[in-house]
Amino acid sequence: MRRVERWIFSSGSAERLAAVRIGLCSVLAVRLSRTVYVHLAGQPRALYRPLSFMKFFSAMPPRLPVLIVQVIGVAAAAAAAFGWRTRATLPLAWAAGVFLNGMTTSQGKVVHNDVLLLLCLVPLLVAATADVWSLDARAGRTQRGEAFRYGWPVNTAMIVVAGAYFFAGFAKLVNSGPGWVTGGNMRWILYAASDARPVPNGLALFVADRAWLAHIVAGCSMLMELTFPVVLFSKRARPLYVAAAAVFHIGIWLTIGLDYWPQAMAAGIVLIDWTAVVARVRLARARPAISPG
Amino acid sequence: MSEEKPLAPTRVPAWTRAFVAVFLAAFIVCGVGGIELWPLTGWRLFSVSRQRLDVGWSAMTVDTRGREAPLPLGRMPISYRGAALLVGRFARMKDADREALCEALVAGANRVGARAVSLRIYRVEVDHSIRSGKRPAAPLSMLAYQCGNGRVVSLQT
């Protein structure tokens, strides 16, 4: 436990934390600009199935307040991405995101599409995310501090990403056991997804028609999910798992039609050290200029 | 946890440590226990194994002449997106909730051009292992409920 605590609160880079802020807030701004929330606001009361804090509302909130929250949310998320008054705009954007996505998850089914994004933003709510690469820093409202301020928000978000995938695999093991992989489960999921569409889905049927392929897909999915915490121990494994998660979510989108790009983006933004990537690209570009001959 | 950098544990404020501890504890408890406290979640996505035999529910609108047509969910507003799930829970609903849902669906269908006066809800059994080309072989449908004008009739045996 002591080791875990030391790792979480180890020092970090202000630039990396700023990159995570920019990435996550940009994705949040894009997500909050969808029209789905305003459309849901007109929902008949009989279809409302609130979850969690949405039980405080007896029906979907009315259109005008939803639109106001949405406009504020998008503006706040964009401002937080630019690092303008981040201590206020980031929590405001997050609160708007939780409220609006609380609406989408109150239709009779838990909606997970934006959950990882929102959870990764939690540690950033109280962190010094705008000490560099921000309008706040340019205006002199913030300044670079000591390294201990920047490590824990990124490390906490990494635990959340690893946990999200691990717990998804864990739930499969608990609720279905190895049969999730060894049984016909994946075939029936894919057949059902294709059969529910007006036009059959060729890729879903291609996998479902081949039992061996469906077992491989199910096995790889569960293996990736259960071993995802490796990213916490191995820096080298992170790009591999980010790529695997991207393939996983693209596959789900193409076969089942579920759009999980915010989750894939959140994983990539948090797990990849984008400042190191940029530095490496710059170095690679500079190399030919200094090479002899 | 291999990349430990120089530490300054005493300098991270106690409230920050407490905040992280409480957040991660809640995240882990929900994950391990499958608890839904949205946005904290049990991550139970597709965790229950699907079976070859799939029992679902299908809603049809009925016009004044008794003609049936599928509930036009695809043309209805996004706010009706959850209707397909709710129809599947019809059996577990109270009478008042069934009536309200039925009225809302009839009204929603009529708003996009259907001329519905009532709704019929069928229990549909699909065996995914029996295929007819790219589609399942004919599903077995049984009328389970008819509702409209503030009345719900259960036709299940």
**Predicted local distance difference test score (pLDDT) of residue B84:** 85
**Predicted local distance difference test score (pLDDT) of residue B1:** 61
Do residues B65 and B136 share a domain?
yes
**Predicted local distance difference test score (pLDDT) of residue B157:** 61
pLDDT for residue A290 is more than 70: no
The secondary structure of residue A49, as a DSSP letter, is: B
Touching B: A residues 22-61, CB under 8 Å: 36, 39-47, 49, 51-53, 60
The single residue listed with the structure tokens 């004044």 is B64
Q: Which among A99, A234, A4, A10 is positioned nearest to B25, based on CA atoms?
A: A4
Beta carbons of A174 and B47 less than 8 Å apart: yes
| CA nearest to A119 within chain B | B39
How far apart CA B59 and CA A123 sit, in angstroms, is 45
Which residues, 6 or more positions from A280, have their beta carbon under 8 angstroms from its beta carbon? none
Query: Once rounded to an integer, what is the mean pLDDT over residues A101-117?
Result: 95
* Ramachandran region, residue A108 (left: φ > 0; alpha: ψ -120 to 50; beta: rest): left
Residues in chain B within 8 Å Cβ distance of A102 = 38-39
Burial zone of A205 (CB within 10 Å; 0-12 exposed, 13-18 middle, 19+ buried): buried
The single residue listed with the structure tokens 């717990």 is A167
Do residues B78 and B143 share a domain?
yes
Do residues B44 and B57 share a domain?
no
CB-based contact, A206 to chain B, within 8 Å: no
pLDDT for residue B3 is more than 60: no
How far apart CA A165 and CA A268 sit, in angstroms, is 13
Do residues B109 and B42 share a domain?
no
CB-based contact, B6 to chain A, within 8 Å: yes
Query: Once rounded to an integer, what is the mean pLDDT over residues B80-87?
Result: 88
- The closest CB to that of A40, out of B54, B78, B126, belongs to B78
Do residues B84 and B114 share a domain?
yes
Confidence of residue A116 (pLDDT cuts 50, 70, 90): very high
pLDDT for residue A291 is more than 60: no
**Predicted local distance difference test score (pLDDT) of residue B92:** 87
Let me know if residue B98 belongs to a domain: yes
More confident residue, A292 or A278: A278
* Ramachandran region, residue B140 (left: φ > 0; alpha: ψ -120 to 50; beta: rest): beta
Bond from prior residue into B39 cis (ω within 30 degrees of 0): yes
Residues in chain B within 8 Å Cβ distance of A108 = 82, 85-86, 89
Domain boundary assignment for chain A: 2-176+228-285
More confident residue, B29 or B148: B29
pLDDT for residue B156 is more than 80: no
Q: For residue B46, report the phi and psi dihedrals to the nearest 5 degrees.
A: 50, 30
The single residue listed with the structure tokens 């199935």 is A49
- The closest CB to that of B101, out of A46, A112, A160, belongs to A46
- The closest CB to that of B48, out of A115, A176, A192, belongs to A176
Do residues B86 and B132 share a domain?
yes
Let me know if residue B6 belongs to a domain: no
**Predicted local distance difference test score (pLDDT) of residue B111:** 93
This model's pTM is above 0.90: yes
Provide the residue range defining the domain that includes B103: 53-154
Q: How many residues does chain A have?
A: 293
Query: Once rounded to an integer, what is the mean pLDDT over residues A130-158?
Result: 96
Query: Once rounded to an integer, what is the mean pLDDT over residues B27-41?
Result: 97
Confidence of residue A2 (pLDDT cuts 50, 70, 90): confident
Query: Once rounded to an integer, what is the mean pLDDT over residues B115-139?
Result: 92
pLDDT for residue B155 is more than 90: no
DSSP string of chain B? ------B-GGGS-HHHHHHHHHHHHHHHHHHHHT--BTTB----TT-SPP-SEEEEEEEEEE-TT--EEE--TTTS-GGGTTHHHHHHTGGGS-HHHHHHHHHHHHHHHHHTT---SEEEEEEEEEETTSEETTEES--EEEEEEEEETTEEEE---
pLDDT for residue A204 is more than 90: yes
pLDDT for residue A202 is more than 80: yes
**Domain total of chain B:** 2
Q: What is the CB neighbour count within 10 angstroms for residue A186? A: 26
pLDDT digits (tens, 9 = 90+) for B106-119: 999 999 999 999 99
Q: Which among B73, B67, B62 is positioned nearest to B117, based on CA atoms?
A: B62
pLDDT for residue A292 is more than 60: no
Let me know if residue B2 belongs to a domain: no
Do residues B66 and B136 share a domain?
yes
Do residues B90 and B26 share a domain?
no
Burial zone of A52 (CB within 10 Å; 0-12 exposed, 13-18 middle, 19+ buried): middle
Give me the interface pTM, i.e. the ipTM.
Answer: 0.94
Strands B151-154 and B135-136: unpaired
Give percent above pLDDT 70 in chain A: 98
Do residues B123 and B101 share a domain?
yes
Six-digit token string for B71: 């509930």
CB-based contact, B106 to chain A, within 8 Å: no
pLDDT digits (tens, 9 = 90+) for A160-198: 999 999 999 999 999 999 999 999 999 999 999 999 898
How far apart CA A48 and CA A109 sit, in angstroms, is 11
pLDDT digits (tens, 9 = 90+) for B51-78: 999 998 899 999 999 999 999 998 999 9
pLDDT for residue B120 is more than 90: yes
Query: Once rounded to an integer, what is the mean pLDDT over residues A213-231?
Result: 98
Do residues B43 and B69 share a domain?
no
Do residues B92 and B109 share a domain?
yes
Let me know if residue B1 belongs to a domain: no
